[in-house]
Amino acid sequence: MSCSSNIRLDKWLWAARFYKTRSIAQQMVQGGKVRYNGQRCKPSKTIEVGATVRISQGFVDQTVVIQELSGTRRSAPEAQRLYQETAESKQQREQLQQQRKLAFDSKTAPPTKPDKKQRRELLQLKSRQRES
């Protein structure tokens, strides 16, 4: 891993494999999905070891501490050495994952699709509700 001291935030996020391309990393930083030491910043922000980065990706929010600097994208195991996820972040992420799984499991799909008569009845019911 390179230890260059002038690494941009968007480049580090790409090298740490949080985003697939640098341009996506840049857009996420500009859009406020990434916070550096608790504050919004520009993609060109020079980062340092020991800083905290909060990353929002869909349902997942991660808080990581920068362990190493690198501007080159390498394999996933090497990329994981660049950061350390905080314990609270891991716990919160696992909790949200369990909640989503329980919510998904509790949904029951109908056993079959409605037939033509049932579809007509559903449409009539919906149109009556709109009129009310």
pLDDT in tens, 69-86: 999 999 999 999 999 999
Confidence at 28, pLDDT banded by 50, 70, 90: very high
**Backbone phi and psi for residue 83, each to the nearest 5 degrees, phi listed first:** -145, 165
Predicted pLDDT of residue 107:
76
pTM over 0.85: no
- Please state, rounded to an integer, the average pLDDT across all residues of the chain: 90
What confidence tens digit (pLDDT) does each residue in 97-124 have? 898 888 877 777 778 888 999 999 999 9
Domains of the chain, each with CATH number or no CATH: 1-97 (3.10.290.10)
**pLDDT given for residue 58 in this prediction:** 86
